[in-house]
Each structure stands twice: as C-alpha cells, then as structure tokens.
A and B are shown apart, each in its own frame.
Chain A
C-alpha cells in the first residue's frame, strides 16, 4: 500500500517550458488535491477534485491546469513555466471533502520544481 505517490521528485525547467506533474493514490479515495509550498511558507491550494470527473480552483490556480484522469490519478500541468512557479508541489487525497471524520488528507512526498 504505497499511499500517495508523485513523479518526478525533482525537476528543473527553463522559463516557457511545459510539464506535467503526476499523482496517484491507492487508497480508493474520492477527493484529490494539489498544493504548492514556497520556501518558509505554508501550503496553498492550487486545484482540487472532490470526486472523479470534477475539478475546482483553489486559492492560487493561475498558470496551472489539472486533469482527474480516473479515480486514482490527478495530474497538474504547467503550460508555460515561470520563475514564480518555483516551489515544492504536494499532492494529497482524502475520502471526501465533507469536513468531518474521514476527511483527513494523506500527502505525497512532493515534487521540487525549479524554473530558471
């Protein structure tokens, strides 16, 4: 039972390049999330998917797109990377977004992205 996995672990991009961050969970969770964490700061929600087939914007969605490929997988795409997107990206999943028991999130190990 791997939990939440993310690929790649590290990535360096040049300004204007594109890439997709992959995330998969094996806990049969309905909800999945993408966060970014800038140095010395807390996590900020980029996008989330409450259930398969739905996606919604979080706090900082600009410059990103997401795809909920199936119940297991949720990808984050940077179409034209900018230095301001240098950050650590975390994917998470939870049983639901109901806010009560069972709503605790499980996080992946993160992807460290540098945009030059």
Chain B
C-alpha cells in the first residue's frame, strides 16, 4: 500500500471550511483514497473515499488531484464537534486486509 503524509496538526475557525491535505505520491492506479476520523478516544469513523474523481457526501468533500498524488478533505462548515484526528489511507486490498492508519492530522476547530 502507498504511504501517506499528513501535517500533524491544523486549526480552523468555527463555521469556516477546513481543508486537510494528504500526500500519496506513490499511489498505484488501483488504490483508493479513504478518510476516517477519530473523535477523542472513540473508534474511528468512516468519512469518504474515492478513486480518481472528486466525491461529496453529507459529511465532506474529497478532492483528488489529476495525477492522484495528493488529495484534500474538505469539511465545508466546521463545527466544534469536528475537532478530531483525521486519517488519510491509501490501499488496495485484493485478497489481503493489511492497512496502516498512520498518525493522522489533529484538527482543532476554535470558536
């Protein structure tokens, strides 16, 4: 699986958009980009995933660059409850289930 690089921490003002970057320069053509978040000490929560097209759901948007070497998770109107650790994962699992979450980005939303 491709390695990912994320900034260790970011701040965002409440009500503003939070843009969380992820670098995955070694991504392969059949690898998906997944984003999860972990609020305080709860179990991680799935947010969104994509292959090469931009994706949007009720939680967030995912923008993947044309060369697929990086992506950005966008929380359009961040709230205090979005304060969490955000993990970017790139993987193709075929017949294996190995996954590495890395250390993620700690997003702090401030009033």
Q: Chain A residues in contact with chain B, CB under 8 A?
A: 4, 31, 33, 35, 41-45, 48-50, 56, 58-59, 88, 90, 92, 96-101, 103-110
Interface of B is mostly: loop
Question: What would 28 A/B residue contacts be, using CB atoms closer than 8 Å?
Answer: A4-B43, A31-B97, A41-B103, A42-B87, A42-B104, A45-B97, A58-B97, A58-B98, A58-B99, A88-B41, A90-B44, A92-B44, A96-B93, A97-B94, A98-B93, A98-B94, A99-B32, A99-B91, A99-B93, A101-B49, A103-B49, A105-B36, A107-B43, A107-B45, A109-B42, A109-B43, A110-B42, A110-B43
**CA A113 to CA B46, docked complex, whole Å:** 24
Per CB-CB distance, the 7 closest pairs between chain A and chain B, nearest first, are: A107-B43, A48-B97, A99-B93, A99-B92, A104-B46, A42-B101, A97-B93
Q: With the chains together, A50 CA to B46 CA distance in Å?
A: 19
Total count of chain B residues near the partner, CB < 8 A? 28
When the two chains form their complex, are residues A104 and B34 in contact, meaning their CB atoms are under 8 A apart?
yes
A99 and B100 contact, Cβ closer than 8 Å, known pairs A4-B43, A107-B43, A107-B45: no
